[in-house]
Amino acid sequence: MTLRFVLRVGLRIVVSLLLSMAESRGHAAPVSDPAGTWLTEDGRARVRIERCGGMPDRICGYIVWMKETADAKGQPFRDRLHPDPARRARLLLGHQMLLGLKLNPDGRYVGEVYNAEDGKTYSVSIWREGPKMLAVKGCLLGLFCATQGWAQVTDLVPGQLVGATGEGGGPLPDPEWAAPKPPPTAGAAKPPAAGTIKTKAN
């Protein structure tokens, strides 16, 4: 067995391994991508995480299922403590809680989370702990922090919102994170002005 033969075989093995690694990386989803539906640590809600409308570099999250959606009187829970009075009548089911998180150099998405239980906004960072586990770290004033573990779910349960974000049967984004509305179609017929009457031509 010559040295040239050994080197040739070794080179083929190395090339084969490199091609195999490249192929597996090409088909695997990025580990840092938190997109999906997640069950919160206390089991009280499911959160859908996805790209914010019209902002591919930002991540938004919406409550798409709640274990309890109404109070003892059967009245649906609403966002009564929101600092914006215009949003206090909205339902908690379907509201946005993760507000435009952005990927940092450490591979974590950082930004703000809205907590409807007290109407306040906190700093948050999220990252995958594994294929089906998401770490969610919330902080107050950057000093007092707590981390939860959310489990990824792929099934559907009764009462879960399944529609596209911003459309019927789906969660509602905050206006500042919503997808831009398409421009009006050129040449579209305009409605008649108020007080005008259409008449038929003879």
pLDDT tens digits, one per residue of 154-176: 999 999 999 999 999 999 999 99
CA 197 to each of CA 187, 190, 191, 192: distance values in angstroms, whole numbers, following the listed order: 22, 14, 12, 8
- For CA atoms 181, 89, 71, 60, the dihedral sign is positive
Domains of the chain: 36-177 (2.40.128.520)
Predicted local distance difference test score (pLDDT) of residue 198? 53
Enter the pTM of the model.
0.75
